[in-house]
């Protein structure tokens, strides 16, 4: 009898995250922050192992990744001053040589950058958004937009953790001055000449970078709704009262009142988010895919869309404005998400031939 034909397919995947040599040596599924993901993968018969990455031992990581069927990546664009400049080419190379990679760096470059706000500004989640491709364009075009509609929010194309996100307000008494507030934790508002702002933004244009200019959303104090996605399905929600771009209280930027609140997690069926879920699954995600030229299998196994509340509609109902998409390192995740990730991983792996 042809037993080989009936043997269950056995897939192996690596979960890639940053760490030093000691972390690489000691990493196990059990001591990993992704322990629930490892468990969910094991529960459906997928063998998953940690792969700790650092630039200093990239060759060893490369060898490890070439031996698996799939690679799940959780690495921020900026982490303690390091970028993905070396990691992304490595992942592209791995993906070209066989293993499936989520999220693929080319997919991150479409959805996980602030430019997605510009390219999808015509969707229902869009706000008033502009893009500047050079410091000269920024200098020429931004001041009139600021004067017409202050405040504005500027975002470098590729950042995280509030790095390179600025709230800019016009100052009526001094035309050449602006009030700026950086979104990074501990920042205070400053009044600076516009030329100083341009100089601060200049580095964001390096390496083909750009700046995205988005209308400030006044319902920011009502919090951020993070919609967790696995492929094209909603995997849960998180609601958080954030503090970034809200001026710190007088006690100072490190006071408890300046800290963000906890993110309250909800499953995909949470009643209060069903309108948003329908919009994400039925309209905005398919429309984004069409706009950016992405197919369903290239959507990451876990990603999130962060929404701010827009102005209420005529009937008084909430509206949602896309603030950013995180596709590089979406974590922590709701309780239901590991199982959703495992199901998506299995679907993806079944689409490619098993190794070995």
Ligand X SMILES: Nc1ncnc2c1ncn2[C@@H]1O[C@H](COP(=O)(O)OP(=O)(O)O)[C@@H](O)[C@H]1O
Question: Are the CB atoms for 159 and 207 separated by under 8 Å?
Answer: no
- Asked if 165 touches ligand X (CB under 6 A), the answer is yes
Kindly calculate the radius of gyration of the chain based on its CA atoms and give it in whole angstroms: 22
Select 114 or 348, whichever has its Cβ closest to ligand X.
114
- Asked if 241 touches ligand X (CB under 6 A), the answer is no
Residue owning tokens 């992405």: 294
Structure tokens at 74: 């959780």
Structure tokens at 260: 């963000």
Restricting to residues 245-304, name those near ligand X by CB under 6 A: 245
In terms of DSSP bridges, do strands 100-102 and 70-74 run parallel, antiparallel, or are they unpaired?
A: parallel
Instruction: Pick one of 32, 187, 217, 230: the residue that binds ligand X (CB under 6 A).
Output: 217
Select 66 or 241, whichever has its Cβ closest to ligand X.
241
Tell me, residue by residue from 17 to 56, as one string, x for binding to ligand X by CB under 6 A and - for no binding. ----------------------------------------
Instruction: Pick one of 76, 115, 306, 336: the residue that binds ligand X (CB under 6 A).
Output: 306
Interface size with ligand X, residues (CB under 6 A) = 21
Q: From CA 170, how far away is CA 166, in angstroms rounded?
A: 13
- Asked if 159 touches ligand X (CB under 6 A), the answer is yes
- Asked if 220 touches ligand X (CB under 6 A), the answer is yes
Min dist. Cβ of residue 224 to ligand X (A): 6
- Asked if 161 touches ligand X (CB under 6 A), the answer is yes
- Give the DSSP H or E segment for 14: strand 11-18
Instruction: Pick one of 187, 324, 329, 348: the residue that binds ligand X (CB under 6 A).
Output: 324
**Crossing angle for the helix pair 58-66 and 87-97, to the nearest 10 degrees:** 20
Min dist. Cβ of residue 120 to ligand X (A): 14
Structure tokens at 231: 């492929």
Q: DSSP readout, 16-65? A: EEE--HHHHHH--STTSTTHHHHHHHHHTTEEEEEEEE-GGGHHHHHHHH
- Asked if 154 touches ligand X (CB under 6 A), the answer is no
DSSP 202: G
Tell me, residue by residue from 171 to 210, as one string, x for binding to ligand X by CB under 6 A and - for no binding. ------------x---------------------------
User: Which of 7, 4, 15, 6 lies closest to 99 in space, CA to CA?
Assistant: 15
Return residues touching ligand X (CB under 6 A): 153, 155, 159-163, 165, 183, 214, 216-217, 220, 224, 242, 244-245, 306, 308, 323-324
């Amino acid at each position: 009898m042809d037993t080989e034909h009936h043997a269950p397919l056995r897939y192996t995947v690596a979960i890639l995250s940053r760490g030093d040599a000691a972390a690489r040596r000691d990493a196990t599924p059990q001591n990993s922050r992704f322990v629930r993901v490892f468990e969910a993968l094991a529960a459906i018969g997928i063998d998953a192992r940690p792969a700790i990455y650092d630039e200093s031992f990239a060759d060893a990581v490369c060898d490890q990744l070439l031996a698996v069927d799939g690679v799940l990546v959780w690495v921020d664009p900026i982490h303690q001053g390091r970028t993905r400049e070396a990691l992304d080419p490595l992942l592209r190379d791995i993906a070209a040589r066989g293993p499936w990679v989520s999220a693929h760096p080319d997919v991150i470059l479409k959805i996980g950058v602030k430019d997605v706000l510009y390219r999808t500004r015509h969707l229902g989640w869009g706000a008033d958004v502009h893009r500047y491709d050079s410091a000269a364009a920024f200098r020429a075009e931004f001041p009139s937009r600021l004067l017409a509609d202050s405040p504005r929010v500027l975002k470098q194309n590729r950042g995280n953790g509030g790095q390179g996100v600025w709230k800019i307000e016009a100052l009526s008494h001094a035309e050449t001055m602006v009030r700026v507030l950086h979104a990074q934790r501990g920042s205070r508002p400053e009044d600076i000449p516009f030329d100083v702002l341009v100089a601060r933004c200049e580095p964001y244009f390096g390496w083909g970078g750009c700046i995205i200019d988005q209308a400030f959303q006044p319902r920011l104090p009502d919090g951020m709704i993070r919609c967790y996605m696995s492929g094209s399905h909603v995997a849960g929600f998180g609601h958080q009262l954030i503090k970034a771009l809200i001026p710190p209280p007088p006690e100072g930027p490190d006071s408890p009142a300046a800290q963000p609140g906890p993110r309250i997690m909800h499953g995909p069926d949470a009643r209060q988010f069903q309108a948003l879920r329908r919009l994400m699954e039925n309209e905005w995600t398919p429309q984004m895919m069409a706009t950016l030229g992405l197919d369903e299998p290239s959507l990451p196994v876990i990603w999130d869309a962060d929404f701010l509340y827009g102005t209420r509609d005529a009937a008084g109902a909430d509206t949602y404005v896309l603030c950013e998409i995180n596709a590089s390192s979406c974590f922590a995740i709701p309780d239901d998400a590991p199982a959703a990730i495992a199901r998506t991983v299995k679907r993806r792996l079944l689409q490619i031939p098993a190794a070995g």
